[in-house]
Amino acid sequence: MSSAEAGPVPEGTSPTGRPPSDGSTRDRIRDAAVLRFARSGFGTSVRTIAADAGVSPALVIHHFGSKDALHRACDDFVLRWIVAAKRQNMGRAAGGQLLQVMAEVDEFAPLLGYAVRSLQAGGEVARAFVQHMIDDAQVYTREAVADGIVKPSLDEDARVRYLVLSSLGTLLLSLTLDPPDDPEDFGANVRAFMTEQYLPMIELFTQGFLTSRRMLDDYLLYVGDPPAGTGTDPEPDHEHVPETTSEER
Given a contact cutoff of 8 angstroms between Cβ atoms, the answer to whether 175 and 193 are in contact is yes
Q: How many whole angstroms separate alpha carbon 37 and alpha carbon 31?
A: 10
Most confident residue range from 61-70, 96-105, 192-201, 231-240: 61-70
Q: How many whole angstroms separate alpha carbon 247 and alpha carbon 226?
A: 28
pLDDT of residue 139: 86
- Which ranges constitute the DSSP H helices of the chain? 3-6, 25-40, 46-53, 57-64, 67-92, 98-103, 105-121, 123-146, 156-177, 186-207, 214-221
When pLDDT is cut at 50, 70 and 90, the band that residue 8 belongs to is: very low
- Of 34-38, 64-68, 238-242, the range with the lowest mean pLDDT is 238-242
- Over residues 193-219, mean pLDDT: 89
Residue 33 has pLDDT above 80, yes or no: yes
Between these two residues, 229 and 8, which has the higher pLDDT value?
229
Structure confidence by residue, pLDDT tens digits, 125-182: 688 778 877 887 888 889 889 999 899 999 999 999 999 899 888 888 887 888 777 7
pLDDT of residue 241: 43
Residue 73 has pLDDT above 60, yes or no: yes
- Over residues 120-128, mean pLDDT: 78
When pLDDT is cut at 50, 70 and 90, the band that residue 13 belongs to is: very low
- Over residues 69-92, mean pLDDT: 79
Average pLDDT over the chain reads 77
Between these two residues, 101 and 132, which has the higher pLDDT value?
132
pLDDT of residue 131: 87
Given a contact cutoff of 8 angstroms between Cβ atoms, the answer to whether 35 and 27 are in contact is no
Structure confidence by residue, pLDDT tens digits, 217-229: 999 888 866 655 4
